[in-house]
Amino acid sequence: MVEKSKILIIGRTGYLGKFIVEASTKHGHPTFLLVRESTLSNGSKSSMLESFKKSNVTFITGDLFDHKSLVNAIKHVDVVISAIGQANHIDQVNIIAAINEAGNVKKFNPSEFGNDVYRTHGVEPAKTAFAIKAQIRKAIENEGIPYAYITSSCCAGYFLPNLAQLGATTPPRDKS
């Protein structure tokens, strides 16, 4: 029998993270979540966290901006999946540094989940987002970290609620 990968998910309560947690546990992987202290006491996240506990997920208290806690969390696993939001994509350099120090990761999946930035050209604001993702890719590759980029093109569910008007919380109500 093949041993299952031990997976750490960073960014697990966001748009895609909860689905990655579900898939990991469904496939029988020992799943670990990096969880901030503030998230553990956040009432709006309690039902999601309870469902994770019922799935035998292990919580590791830490933070993307606390190097020591990142290294500690990474030492428990052999696969790291980042599902952090776009606003923090550049902060994945912290994960890269922690993976290097821990020295045990067999695969890193950075928060990509969109267009292949090596093959896509965009206009602002996408152009800046693509540049940041390319910068993270280059850092991973330069450090020699084993990786997998998951590119699914655009996630329609992300754009549909605001009809591709990023920042809008509802569809436009004006009449033409």
pLDDT in tens, 93-108: 999 999 999 999 999 9
| 59 inside domain | yes
Residue 167 lies in a domain: no
Instruction: Give the tokens for residue 56.
Output: 């035998």
Whether 174 is in a domain gets the answer no
C-alpha to C-alpha distance for 38 and 168, rounded to whole angstroms: 27
pLDDT at site 122: 79
Query: Is pLDDT at 169 greater than 90 in this prediction?
Result: no
Domain with 148 in it: 7-162
Whether residue 23 has pLDDT greater than 60: yes
Q: Is the pLDDT of residue 136 over 70?
A: yes
Residue 120 exposure: Cα atoms within 13 Å on the Cβ side: 20
Catalytic sites, residue numbers: 133
Q: Which 8-state DSSP code applies to residue 167?
A: T
Query: What CATH number does the domain containing 20 carry?
Result: 3.40.50.720
With respect to residue 176, please indicate whether it lies within any of the assigned structural domains. no
CA 37 – CA 15 distance, rounded (Å): 20
Does the pLDDT at position 147 exceed 90?
Answer: yes
3-state secondary structure of 147: strand
What single DSSP character describes residue 5? P
Question: Does residue 171 lie in a domain region?
Answer: no
Tell whether 79 is covered by a domain: yes
pLDDT band at 138 (very low <50, low <70, confident <90, very high): very high
- Pick the more confident residue, 113 or 160: 113
- Give residue 61's Cα distance to chain centre: 16
Establish if 173 belongs to a structural domain.
Answer: no
Residue 42: helix, strand or coil by DSSP? coil
Does any domain span residue 68?
yes
Structural domains in the chain (count): 1
Confidence at residue 50, expressed as pLDDT on a 0 to 100 scale: 86
pLDDT confidence tier of residue 156, bands split at 50, 70 and 90:
low
Tokens of 32: 């670990």
